[in-house]
Each structure stands twice: as C-alpha cells, then as structure tokens.
C-alpha cells in the first residue's frame, strides 16, 4: 500500500500532469510539425493507464483494510459537492473513468492502430488525451471545492 503523500503525488501525476503533457505535445506537434506525435501521446497514455491501475489497486487495498467502500470517494455518499452538485458515487465513477478507463482506451487504440493499421490513430489518441485532461481538471476543481467547503 502506498503512503498518503506518495498516493497524492501519483494521483496528481496521473490526473493532471500526464494527460496535460499528452495534450500539450499533441497540440504542439500539430502546430509545429513535431515528430512522433502519435507514438509519444500513446506512450504517455499507456503509462497513465498503468499508473491508474496501480492507484486503483492501492485504493482497493486501503479500503479493504479500513472497511471503506470499494471506490475512492472523498465525500460522504449523502453529501453533494458544492460546485457541481455531484454525489459521491458520481465522483467515484468519473474518477475511475479518468484514472483507468480513458487512459486504457487510449493506450489500447494506440496499440491496435499500430498493430492492425486502424485508421485515425493520431486523431483518436489525441482526442482521448484531451478528454482525459478535461475530466482531470473537472475532478480537480470538484475536489478542491469539496475540501474548501470542509474547512
């Protein structure tokens, strides 16, 4: 199991830094004709998916030890998030989508496009990276607002 400090740092990396870097490189590669945009973005998303899986396993182990629900919620299920009116279960689902599902889909499509010649690999992987970066920011704002409301 990861320490709280390490978990928070890795979560920040997986939720903001990696999707943001993938999106930034994808955008700059298109504007400036930088090389290997599909490969670099696909690699970042594959690493992000792996990191999300590690974080998910860590959360599951922690929740087993503390008798918490199986998904990593910040809120009491009866509370609503003050900014978006989001329930804890909605937050939990979006968290798993942003941390594991979206990066995994991006990495999978990247691999399949390379292996099987699927069309539009660069465009699809770039779009997936953009959606993941946006969802990470959305969840970050929601988390910040919730923690601020607790103070």
Cα gap 28→64, rounded to integer Å: 43
Residues 6+ apart with CB under 8 A from 97: 135
**What would the pLDDT profile of 113-142 be if each residue is shown by its tens digit?**
887 888 888 888 889 888 988 888 888 887
Q: Give the model's pLDDT for residue 85.
A: 65
- Tell me what the pLDDT averaged over the chain comes to: 80
Cα gap 148→127, rounded to integer Å: 32
Q: Give the model's pLDDT for residue 68.
A: 56
* Better pLDDT: 142 or 18: 18
**What would the pLDDT profile of 31-50 be if each residue is shown by its tens digit?**
999 998 888 988 898 888 88
């Amino acid at each position: 199991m990861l320490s709280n400090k390490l978990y928070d740092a890795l979560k920040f990396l997986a939720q903001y830094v990696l999707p943001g870097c993938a999106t930034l490189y994808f955008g700059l590669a298109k504007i400036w004709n930088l090389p290997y945009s599909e490969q670099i973005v696909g690699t970042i998303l594959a690493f992000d998916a792996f990191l999300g899986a590690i974080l998910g396993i860590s959360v599951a182990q922690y929740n087993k030890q503390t008798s918490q629900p199986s998904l990593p919620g910040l809120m009491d299920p009866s509370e609503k998030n003050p900014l978006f009116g989001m329930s804890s279960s909605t937050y939990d689902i979006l968290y798993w989508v942003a941390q594991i599902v979206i990066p995994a889909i991006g990495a999978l499509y990247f691999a399949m496009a390379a292996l099987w010649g699927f069309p539009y690999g660069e465009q699809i992987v770039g779009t997936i990276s953009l959606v993941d970066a946006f969802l990470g920011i959305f969840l970050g704002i929601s988390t910040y607002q919730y923690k601020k409301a607790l103070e």
